[in-house]
């Protein structure tokens, strides 16, 4: 497995592969890798000849009071994990490479970014879109894979790729969960045993919503009322949002009549955790 820490070396690897007629799959990460990341990499290996992974904690997607300094970092362990799934190359840029002195350009996807996490994390998705666009230009992949746990991030990247005409296929991959239902996240390692138990209420709330929708409930108010009760009963002090939205526009919906995304974000101890479930609703016949 090769590692690259300059744009020229990374781009040379990709262009050599392209000249040889090889396809490149790309998984951008911020490190602190877990099975969710590895599942993206394995899927990438199925789609392409070469798997490239980036490890970079992007400062522009963190707010002034967020956990940039404390974000978990374990480069040696991360490289071992990429190697274990057959990664071919890892790009390890620095802040100076990604944001050279005097850099001013940012990418914004305003309509999708203003909902959900964007409402409480202003500028976050501009930071995400900007760094991903830069990585795409450096790595030049044929396909890039992202987890559906960060559903809004995936929607922002898909919109950006479409709007800018970038030659990258975007693939969303299912949420990977721990045995207790907790969605895998690098921030789960912040949790105490008690906080982790409380955090499982997010997936239990999604399960309950699925039961209600499966039984014919369509009222977002009633569904979200039960969702909030389940989460609040565990002592979680703050729910950032619990909402049903259109999965394409991320606009809130009052009733579940077609496909709907139930999106959650809550503060559990020192961590802000997100989770979601997409409900594929067949159109209901009118009587």
Q: Which residue has the tokens 């202003």?
A: 122
CA–CA separation, 231 and 202 (whole Å)? 6
Per DSSP bridges, beta strands 238-245 and 169-173 are unpaired
Helices within 67-107 (DSSP H only): 75-84, 95-98
- Rg of the Cα atoms in the chain: 20
Angstrom distances, CA of residue 7 to CA of 63, 169, 213: 27, 21, 49
Residues 6+ apart with CB under 8 A from 198: 234, 235, 236, 268
C-alpha distances out from residue 271 to 69, 155, 190, 243, Å:
14, 23, 6, 20
Residue 130 CB contacts under 8 Å (≥ 6 apart), including other chains: 60, 105, 106, 107
214 to 9, 26, 35, 204, 207: CA distances (angstroms): 52, 36, 30, 15, 10
Q: How far apart are CA 166 and CA 92, in angstroms?
A: 22
Q: How far is CA 63 from CA 69, 105, 189, 198, in A?
A: 11, 18, 20, 25
For the chain, what's the residue count? 287
- 130 contacts 105 by C-beta, under 8 angstroms: yes
Task: With H, G, I as helix, E, B as strand and everything else as coil, classify residue 173.
Answer: strand
Say whether 37 is catalytic.
yes
Catalytic residue selected from 34, 37, 47, 115: 37
| Catalytically annotated residues | 37
């Amino acid at each position: 497995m090769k590692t690259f820490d300059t744009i020229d070396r990374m781009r040379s690897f990709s262009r050599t592969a392209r000249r040889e007629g090889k396809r490149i799959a790309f998984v951008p990460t911020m490190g602190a890798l877990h099975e969710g990341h590895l599942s993206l990499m394995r899927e990438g290996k199925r789609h392409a000849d070469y798997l490239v992974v980036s490890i970079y904690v992007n400062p522009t997607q963190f707010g002034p009071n967020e956990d940039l300094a404390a974000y978990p970092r374990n480069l040696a362990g991360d490289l071992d994990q990429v190697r274990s799934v057959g990664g071919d190359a890892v790009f390890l840029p620095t802040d100076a490479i990604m944001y050279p002195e005097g850099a001013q350009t940012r990418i914004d996807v305003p309509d999708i970014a203003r909902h959900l996490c964007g409402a409480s994390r202003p500028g976050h998705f501009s930071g995400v879109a900007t760094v991903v666009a830069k990585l795409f230009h450096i790595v030049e992949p044929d396909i890039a894979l992202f987890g559906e746990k960060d559903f809004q991030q995936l929607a922002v990247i898909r919109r950006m790729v479409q709007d800018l005409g970038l030659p990258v296929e975007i693939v969303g991959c299912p949420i990977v969960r721990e045995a207790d239902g907790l969605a895998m996240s690098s921030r789960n390692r912040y949790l105490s045993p008690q906080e982790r138990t409380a955090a499982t209420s997010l997936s239990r709330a999604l399960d309950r919503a699925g039961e209600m929708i499966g039984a014919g409930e369509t009222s977002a108010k009633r569904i979200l009322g039960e969702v909030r009760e389940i989460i609040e009963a565990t002592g979680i002090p703050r729910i950032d949002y619990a909402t049903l939205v259109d999965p394409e526009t991320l606009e809130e919906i009052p009733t579940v009549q077609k496909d709907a995304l139930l999106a959650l974000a809550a503060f559990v101890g020192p961590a802000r955790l997100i989770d979601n479930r997409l409900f594929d609703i067949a159109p209901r016949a009118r009587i």
